Chains A and B, each alone.
Chain A
Amino acid sequence: MQPNNIKRRRFLGVILASSASALLLPLRAMAAIWNKAAFEAGQLDKAQKDLGVSGETPSKEIEIIAPDRAENGAIVQLEVTSRIPNTEAIAIFVEKNPTALIGNYIFTNGALPQIVTRIKMAETSDIKIVVKAGDQYYSNAKNVVVLENGCG
């Protein structure tokens, strides 16, 4: 007769195996969506290129509200509004962070191209915003003085 704990072990093994395969599907689907290359790029230029940004036009129609000085780089509140018609996406970059790309926000079905978010900044740097509208890219930037590294 098999000891009960061996049966139990086998049973648990089956459960684990099946839940692992169930988990793999959404992870794979996500990996296809998440732009690994762009998010892991250290340099701003490479991050932008990996995100597909090309030939951006400077635009004052992108409004950036952020503090001029941030005591603690761990939490810098940032508000971005695009007044560019047909804005599809807003990307946030911090030029001097270890990885420059912070986030990419894609709007559909009546979402307005305006967001408030809180970001980490390693040191004094430009926050650069890139807006995608159709095939065109537009950008604006704001410098924030950071007194304490928030990227630990």
Chain B
Amino acid sequence: MQANMKMRAKLVGDTTSGGVTEVKVIMSHPMETGRKKDDFGVLIPAHFIQLVTATLNDKPVLEIQWGTGISKNPYLTFYLKGAKVGDTISLTWHDNLGATATQDIAVIQS
């Protein structure tokens, strides 16, 4: 499961002035609801990300549960206080069929 996530983490300002790190993520995933039919009229089984977790230097910062109502190739932006340039932000997703993917990114100055 390579290259199925694109991530960027930018620190705006600096940590001493209460800088905020903006993390943007795009995950490659079909996010099938289980209600759509293919060209032959056959139902496409549900296939969607259920759980997303994010950590900052191994410390949990965000836990997300998703249903089928998130758009295909999910897009997400979130914001962290207290991160420094070079810190590691890691994101992991799990889907309803047991697949999973993880990606790390280092915080950069904007």
Contact = CB atoms under 8 A, between A and B. Distances in A.
Interface of A: 23, 26-27, 30, 33-35, 39-40, 74-77, 79, 94, 97-99, 101-112, 114-120, 150-152
Contacts of A151: 33, 35, 69
B71 A75 contact: yes
Contact of A111 (B36, B62, B72): B62
Given A27-B98, A33-B51, A110-B82, A115 B76 contact: yes
B9 to A, nearest CB: 13
Nearest to A93: B69
Contacts of B80: 110-112
Contacts of B88: none
Nearest to B66: A103
Contacts of B81: 110-112
A79 B77 CA distance: 9
B50 A30 contact: yes
B97 to A, nearest CB: 10
B71 A118 contact: yes
Contacts, number: 115
A8 to B, nearest CB: 25
User: How would you classify the secondary structure of chain B's contact residues: helix, strand, loop or mixed?
Assistant: strand
Given A33-B51, A111-B80, 20 more contacts: A26-B98, A30-B51, A30-B94, A74-B72, A94-B69, A103-B66, A105-B78, A108-B60, A111-B78, A111-B81, A112-B81, A114-B79, A115-B76, A117-B76, A118-B70, A118-B75, A119-B71, A120-B71, A151-B33, A151-B35
Nearest to A99: B67
A96 B102 CA distance: 33
Contacts of B36: 152
A112 B63 CA distance: 12
B65 A35 contact: yes
A111 B61 contact: yes
A23 B65 contact: no
B70 A115 contact: no
Closest 3 pairs between A and B when the two form their complex, measured CB to CB: A116-B77, A102-B69, A39-B67
